[in-house]
């Protein structure tokens, strides 16, 4: 780890002030990605801005037909939240399966969504549930937020404050874990909200994406069999020592099928 | 002293004495040790697999805060890290044995090769300075795979090893072998890879060098399985420090599995540099360094042919193996594919002729050496897969084919065609017991039930043998071993009757502090709490060869028995004096000396006290004290064996293979502590399942380690092991006093072919004869998918 300045602001405004003043400053929430990178000297920020002292970033509440989750809410809190379990049980289930207990008790939804790791769990839920990302300065639709591998619509100095999830009629999630890292190798989050069907695929490509053919198939016939017939092209799939693009493309269909089955 | 209320001797399962400190965080590992005025070393490692070093500029780094010293290969010109076993080529010439300098001398040969060492006041300062060293590399093409290293025009790693070949060795009579094949009704041919593994002990390697210039005394604290061997190798061959000026301490060590047998460069570097800077130096590997510097395991490519008669009797086996040595010869690397592999190719079968040839190859990868099982897993995987393939090809049931070829229980001692003579075993019984435990006969019903759930269920078997406690010294020496293979045990009985045992073996998770103490409890009749096992310090223990090859009990325990024999012999003489009886009439049984046929007795405590307070004592005939040392050189290897059965289910949609049940029935000889044996077998099986299903060491063509962290290298987790049933079936070793054979490696040796045989069985409808390890989900899905296509076409 290289030396850096440490800040622990108590308001979003103060955090944004520090981050805006220095493009090499980095916010840290649960630290499940940044800390290992720092320890391996893969990242050399001038300052680390610890968000854990900002009360307004924490908490889960139901707001009409939405669940609003503060950026600093840990995965374990989402997994165990009565509000989330009642309104979007599949989101609680997703949170309960992220990483391992240590990760779930440190990692936060804001950190995961902001980082946009292609193999992370949350981005698929955000996209499939058509969530809104609330930042320190604006509101961003899920479809506009995730832009590429580790890339989002967040501007320098802009902080993710909360994620608003509309409550769906149906939702399901299934994933294949990478045997070694247990990150997502291919996952599918399917949802029907206000009559609209969305299918978001994570893990398999450089960035979470909507599988529109599956959405069309499910709109016509909400059933596992309907998505089972949709083949994911292998062209843009990841390929590495753990699996070929062809394998991942196949897993996309398998996971989508299982996600629909899980959604009921 | 009262006899123990609860029996704690041979066959009992007292809880492990060492676990209180391990489980409460009070272990004393190398990195826990801090010496006054200590500095920290960071190794600057090569990022390239193969490069010449045109220059190293340390000026900027040396000026950085906290830097004490920086050394490169130009500074540290010492002996080569030695190789402990000389192998001869087919033509009788000695192997190519290029040197292995602790710090690179003008050339680097694998990613992780050490270029310089930075010593600083703190570890971060040393790391900062290491990053500031400018190394001018001329990057060369790399030969990462054995195929690439053996190809015409391949990059040459060592001037002294033309064609990148270390040796081309063979065993067996080729003419006899060929004649057997000429007689064969069936010849089964088969090729397979034994995948390279990265050991990954929980505790990374660490070393502290300490030097006292007033006495010229060097001390090395290190994560080693054999501190005396390190003292000998490093002292005599690398740094020229005589034994009386070099102390090696291996304190608590958090797992070794073979990877901590070897003498590593970092040990020599901190020992040498500590004397140069006149301050203690600590080095501790981080996990990334462990991946690129701990010796890897396995990595064989083998072609095999089995000749069978019409009735399925094996007539002959022919094996050609290439074995990856990595970039340099690690300490025992050369013995693994030869004397620890090819000599096991008879397996549990009566195959009358076995011929094996082994070509060892240098590549631009981390050195390869012994890893849990070392050679024997490779032999077992080859044989037990080959038998299954032969069963399919000949149409003979795979159990029946094994039974027809087993060495019968009444044929021992049994001389194999590949040098070894097995002393005991009962393969029909271990097979029968395992089949019953695993409900082999009920499998097809379970397969049908799984099919209804859309799962492919398979069952696989492995009937294996291995060889432990490598010995005897004279025979091994004749075959090229450069070390003795005996063990040392000293029994120090204290005046009040408690006992300290000094053993040359080393415990790094095996539970020696309990098992070895049970031997003393059993013999002397004193409670386990009265016995302490001292190991891991060359200043305390007279000598020793350490722990590897499941030898600690069979060899180290036997040395203790010899020393206890001497104690009892002397104690009987003291007792005879006190009871005014003839020595021949004094019997000793678990704590009591008795004049035979009388009620005259003396207790253990009385005799021990008398030995140290010799007021009424035969002082003219024997010396005071009760402290005896014995060296024990075994007459033969021991031969544990048994039967492993694995049952798996494959999800054809994802390719995920789950181990449902695993049954192990092992003949490890006499069992001292059944609980510890069960744990040892469980751990070994978990590693075997890891090799079979999960662990894939991968390099790219340029020599970069792709599986360089736990993100990409998949270690087995508890959930990967399934339901594990472990049992033993004892036949006693006939040539050591305890009748023990060893249990540390059986799990890792017997299990991989059982798993893969189960995988192949699960895929029996897909036209598959073999699946290379690890059978990952992606690999299995591709097989299933292409099988489906083949069926559709």
- pLDDT, tens digit, 9 for 90 and up, residues B719-728: 999 899 999 9
- Find where tokens 């996971």 sit: A255
What separation in angstroms does the CA of B124 have from each of A219, B58, B64, B67, B624?
Answer: 57, 17, 11, 10, 56
- Per-domain residue ranges for chain A? 5-166, 170-263
Instruction: Report the residue from B653, B694, B698 with minimal CB separation from A179.
Output: B694
Residue pair B515/B595 in contact (Cβ under 8 Å)? The answer is: no
Confidence class for position B792, pLDDT limits 50, 70, 90 = low
Q: pLDDT value at position B791? A: 56
Phi, psi (degrees; rounded to nearest 5) at B2? -80, 145
Residue B519's SS3 state is: helix
How much is the pLDDT for B787? 76
- The model's pLDDT over B267-287, given as tens digits with 9 standing for 90+, comes to 999 999 999 999 999 999 999
Say whether A170-263 and A5-166 share the same fold: no
CB of B782 within 8 Å of a chain A CB? The answer is: yes
Cα radius of gyration rounded to whole Å, chain A: 18
CATH class label, A170-263: alpha beta
The overall average pLDDT reported for chain B is: 96
With 70 as the cut, is the pLDDT of residue B789 above it? no
Interchain proximity B782–A244, CB inside 8 Å? yes
- Phi, psi at residue B437, to the nearest 5°? -60, -40
The per-residue pLDDT for range B14-52, each reduced to its tens digit, is 999 999 999 999 999 999 999 999 999 999 999 999 999
pLDDT of the residue at B3: 52
Domain segments of chain B as ranges: 19-26+486-632, 36-140+205-284, 300-470+636-792
User: Greater confidence, B788 or A164?
Assistant: A164
Summarize pLDDT for B589-599 with one digit per residue, the tens.
999 999 999 99
| Dihedral sign, Cα of residue B712, residue B713, residue B717, residue B720 | positive
- Is the CB of residue B122 less than 8 Å away from at least one CB of chain A? no
pLDDT under 50: residue ranges of chain A: none
Tell me which of B292, B454, B778 to substitute to probe the interface with A (most A C-beta atoms closer than 10 Å).
B778
Residues of chain A positioned with their CB less than 8 A from the CB of B713: 180
Residues in A whose CB is inside 8 Å of some CB of B read 1, 40-41, 176, 179-181, 183, 241-244, 246-247, 250-251, 254
Q: How far is CA B501 from CA A260, B244, B248, in A?
A: 65, 22, 18
Look at B694 and A251 and tell me if their CB atoms are within 8 Å: no
Chain B closest CA to A244's CA: distance in Å?
Answer: 7
Share of chain B above pLDDT 90, in %: 96
Give the distance from residue A199's alpha carbon to the nearest chain B alpha carbon, in angstroms.
Answer: 20
pLDDT one-digit tens code per residue, B370-398: 999 999 999 999 999 999 999 999 999 99
> What is the helix (H) or strand (E) element at residue A174, kind and residue range?
strand A170-177
CB contact under 8 A, A250 and B696: no
**Interchain proximity A181–B712, CB inside 8 Å:** yes
Do B19-26+486-632 and B300-470+636-792 have matching folds?
A: yes
How deeply is B565 buried, as exposed, middle or buried, from its count of CB atoms within 10 A (0-12, 13-18, 19+)? middle
What was the pLDDT predicted at B4?
47
CATH tag, B300-470+636-792: 3.30.365.10
* Among candidates A176, A180, A254 on the partner chain, residue whose Cβ is nearest the Cβ of B712: A180
Contact B698 A250 (CB under 8 A): no
Any chain A CB within 8 A of the CB of B725?
Answer: no
Residue B790 has pLDDT above 90, yes or no: no
Tell me the chain A residues in contact with residue B785 when contact means C-beta distances shorter than 8 Å.
Answer: 250
Res. B561: pLDDT tops 90: yes
- In sequence order, which residues have a C-beta less than 8 Å from that of residue A42 and are 6 or more positions away? none
- The CATH number assigned to the domain with range A5-166 reads 3.30.465.10
Look up residue A123 and give its two tokens: 């981005």
The SS3 call for residue B592 is strand
Contact at CB, A241 and B713, closer than 8 angstroms: no
Nearest to B782 among A176, A247, A251 (CB): A247
Residues in chain A closer than 8 A to B127 (CB atoms): 41
Q: Which two tokens stand for residue B694?
A: 């999960």
Share of chain B above pLDDT 70, in %: 99
CATH number for the segment(s) B19-26+486-632:
3.30.365.10
Is beta strand B217-222 parallel, antiparallel or unpaired with respect to B165-171?
unpaired
Using the predicted structure, report yes or no on whether residue B101 has a pLDDT greater than 90.
yes
What average pLDDT is seen over chain A?
97
| Interval B734-763 mean pLDDT | 97
At the fourth CATH level, the homologous superfamily of domain B36-140+205-284 is Aldehyde oxidase/xanthine dehydrogenase, a/b hammerhead (3.90.1170.50)
pLDDT of B475? 87
CB pairs under 8 A between A and B: 46
Is this complex scored with an ipTM above 0.90? yes
């Amino acid at each position: 780890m290289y030396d850096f300045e440490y800040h622990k602001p108590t308001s979003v405004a103060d955090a944004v002030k520090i981050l805006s003043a220095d493009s090499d400053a980095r916010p840290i929430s649960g630290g499940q990605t940044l800390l290992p990178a720092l320890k391996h000297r893969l990242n050399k920020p001038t300052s680390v801005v610890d968000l854990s002292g900002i009360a307004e970033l924490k908490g889960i509440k139901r707001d009409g037909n939405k669940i609003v989750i503060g950026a600093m809410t840990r995965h374990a809190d989402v997994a165990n939240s009565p509000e989330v379990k009642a309104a979007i049980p599949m989101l609680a289930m997703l949170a309960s399966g992220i990483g391992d207990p240590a990760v779930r008790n440190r990692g936060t939804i804001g950190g995961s969504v902001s980082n946009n790791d292609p193999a992370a769990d949350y981005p698929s839920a955000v996209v499939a549930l058509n969530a809104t990302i609330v930042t320190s300065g604006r509101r961003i639709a899920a479809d506009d937020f995730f832009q590429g591998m580790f890339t989002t619509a967040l501007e320098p100095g802009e902080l993710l404050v909360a994620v608003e999830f509309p409550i769906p009629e149906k939702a399901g999630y299934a994933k294949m874990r990478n045997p070694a890292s247990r990150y997502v190798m291919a996952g599918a989050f399917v949802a029907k909200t206000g009559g609209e069907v969305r299918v978001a695929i994570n893990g398999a490509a450089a960035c979470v994406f909507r599988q529109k053919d599956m959405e069309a198939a499910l709109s016509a016939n909400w059933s596992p069999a309907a998505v089972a017939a949709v083949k994911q092209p292998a062209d843009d799939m990841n390929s590495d020592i753990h699996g070929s693009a062809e394998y991942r493309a196949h897993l996309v269909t398998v996971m989508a099928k299982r996600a629909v089955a899980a959604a009921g | 002293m009262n006899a123990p209320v609860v029996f704690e001797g041979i066959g009992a399962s007292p809880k492990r004495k060492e676990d209180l400190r391990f489980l409460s965080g009070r272990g004393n590992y190398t990195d826990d040790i801090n010496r006054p005025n200590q500095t920290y070393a960071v190794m600057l490692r090569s990022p390239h697999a193969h490069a010449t070093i045109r220059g190293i500029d340390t000026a900027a780094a040396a000026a950085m805060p906290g830097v004490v010293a920086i050394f490169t290969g130009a500074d540290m010109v010492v002996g080569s890290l030695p190789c402990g076993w000389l192998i001869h080529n087919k033509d009788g010439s000695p192997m190519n044995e290029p040197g292995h300098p602790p710090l690179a001398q003008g050339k680097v040969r694998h990613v992780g090769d050490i270029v310089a060492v930075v010593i600083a006041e703190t570890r971060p300062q040393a790391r900062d300075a290491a990053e500031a060293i400018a190394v001018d590399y001329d990057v060369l093409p790399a030969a990462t795979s054995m195929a690439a290293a053996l190809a015409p025009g391949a990059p040459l790693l060592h001037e002294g090893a033309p064609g990148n070949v270390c040796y081309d060795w063979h065993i067996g009579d080729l003419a006899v072998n060929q004649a057997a094949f000429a007689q064969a009704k069936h010849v089964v041919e088969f090729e397979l890879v034994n995948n390279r593994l990265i050991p990954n002990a929980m505790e990374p390697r660490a070393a502290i060098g300490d030097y006292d210039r007033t006495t010229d005394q060097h001390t090395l604290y290190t994560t080693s399985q054999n501190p005396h061997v390190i003292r000998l190798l490093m002292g005599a061959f690398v740094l020229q420090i005589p034994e009386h000026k070099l102390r090696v301490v291996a304190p608590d060590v958090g797992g070794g599995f073979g990877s901590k047998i070897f003498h590593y460069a970092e040990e020599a570097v901190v020992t040498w540099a500590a004397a140069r800077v006149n301050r203690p130096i600590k080095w501790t590997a981080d996990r990334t360094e462990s991946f690129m510097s701990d010796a890897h395991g396995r990595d064989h490519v083998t072609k095999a042919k089995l000749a069978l008669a019409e009735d399925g009797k094996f007539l002959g086996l022919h094996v050609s193996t290439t074995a990856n040595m990595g970039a340099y010869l690690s300490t025992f690397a050369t013995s693994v594919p030869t004397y620890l592999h090819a000599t096991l190719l008879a397996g549990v079968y009566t195959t009358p002729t076995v011929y094996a040839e082994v070509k060892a190859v240098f590549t631009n990868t981390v050195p390869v050496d012994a890893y849990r099982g070392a050679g024997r897993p490779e032999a077992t995987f080859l044989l037990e897969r080959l038998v299954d393939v032969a069963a399919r090809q000949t149409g003979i049931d795979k159990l029946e084919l094994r039974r027809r070829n087993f060495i019968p229980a009444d044929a021992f001692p049994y001389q194999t065609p590949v040098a070894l003579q097995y002393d005991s075993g009962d393969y029909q019984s271990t097979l029968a017991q395992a089949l019953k435990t695993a409900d082999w006969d009920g499998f097809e019903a379970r397969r049908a039930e799984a099919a209804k759930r859309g799962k492919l269920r398979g069952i696989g078997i492995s009937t294996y043998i291995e060889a432990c406690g490598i010995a005897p010294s004279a025979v091994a020496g004749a075959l090229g071993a450069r070390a003795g293979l005996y063990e040392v045990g000293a029994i120090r009985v204290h005046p009040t009757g408690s006992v300290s045992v000094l053993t040359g073996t080393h415990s790094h998770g095996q539970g020696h502090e309990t098992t070895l103490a049970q031997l003393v409890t059993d013999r002397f009749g004193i409670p386990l709490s009265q016995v302490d096992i001292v190991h891991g310090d060359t200043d305390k223990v007279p000598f020793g060869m350490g722990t590897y090859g499941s030898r600690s009990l069979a060899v180290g325990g036997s040395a203790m028995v010899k020393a206890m024999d001497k104690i009892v012999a002397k104690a009987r003489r003291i007792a005879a004096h006190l009871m005014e009886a003839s020595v021949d009439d004094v019997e000793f049984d678990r704590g009591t000396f008795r004049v035979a046929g009388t009620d005259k007795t003396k207790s253990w405590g009385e005799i021990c006290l008398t030995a140290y307070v010799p007021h009424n004592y035969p002082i003219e005939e024997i010396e005071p004290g009760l402290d005896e040392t014995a060296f024990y050189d075994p007459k033969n290897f021991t031969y544990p064996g048994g039967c492993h059965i694995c049952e798996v289910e494959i999800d054809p949609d994802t390719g995920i293979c789950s181990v449902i049940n695993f049954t192990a029935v092992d003949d490890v000889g006499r069992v001292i502590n059944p609980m510890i044996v069960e744990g040892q077998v469980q751990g070994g099986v978990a590693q075997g399942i890891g090799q079979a299903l999960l662990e894939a060491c991968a390099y790219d063509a340029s020599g970069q380690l792709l599986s360089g962290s736990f993100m990409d290298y998949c270690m087995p987790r508890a959930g990967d092991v399934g339901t594990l049933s472990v049992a033993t079936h004892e036949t006693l070793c006939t040539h050591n006093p305890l009748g023990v054979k060893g249990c540390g490696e059986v799990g890792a040796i017997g299990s991989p072919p059982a798993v893969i045989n189960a995988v192949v069985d699960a895929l029996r409808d897909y036209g598959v004869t073999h699946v290379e390890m690890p059978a990952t989900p992606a690999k299995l899905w591709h097989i299933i998918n292409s099988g489906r296509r083949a069926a559709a076409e």
